[in-house]
Structure 1
């Protein structure tokens, strides 16, 4: 395969990564919106979708790395030896390295977002448990109140 063909493939992969990352951000925003509305079921389904987008991004990142290795091997360049590339490829290789860095930054950002979402989910889970506990206590109080009320009514009927 020609070096230019490899570079075209790398660019296409980078465009796909950007598209997927945009989708990832949209899904993340939807998740936060659903969490604010206490819609945990829908949010958890979107978390699964977001995770699949993250996996797709990582796979594309690995494929891009393989293409880079293939390009360097074809051009007779070892890792880090960009200065020995032909001038027309040096600029592209520099762009590719910046793409790799931006992808790493995306992944770091994704992990940070994951941590925030997990924190919110844990917090919401705790709040739900507390609400359920207080609801159980309220129901017990209602039962005792109704039992006491029935007792008083029955007692009045007897007297």
Structure 2
């Protein structure tokens, strides 16, 4: 007798959890390189800003942080030359955006991540690579559609 759909999903979740650790570890190698001038939390801000300018309140909401905490992160990133602040007409709303140096850092990280991933993918057969990409795309779509308790559907996005 076969496993029920729920048991199959639970087994798949356990397998994915194990595999995801390897993927995340490999993917994050570039972020932990000695020449990356900021920690992971600040990198997260930069990746959010890569999609376009955002006000500090919306940035805090996207991060699940207090506005004051997001503002302090922006202070550090601005001091490092990685983001710019734009004050609105009434000066109450502050919008932040990537600086040229911030975008250059993200571009450099993407190249490194893709090189690291390509090195591993190159050891896989072509059908295995195709199946992996198809499966991950299906997972992304399902995660975006998931609206259940504790779901990732509202804020989940695969980094670029």
TM-score range, shorter chain: under 0.3
Return the structure number with greater relative CO, CA threshold 8 A, min gap 6: 1
What TM-score do you get using the length of structure 1 for normalisation?
A: 0.27
**Structure with the higher fraction of residues in strand conformation:** 2
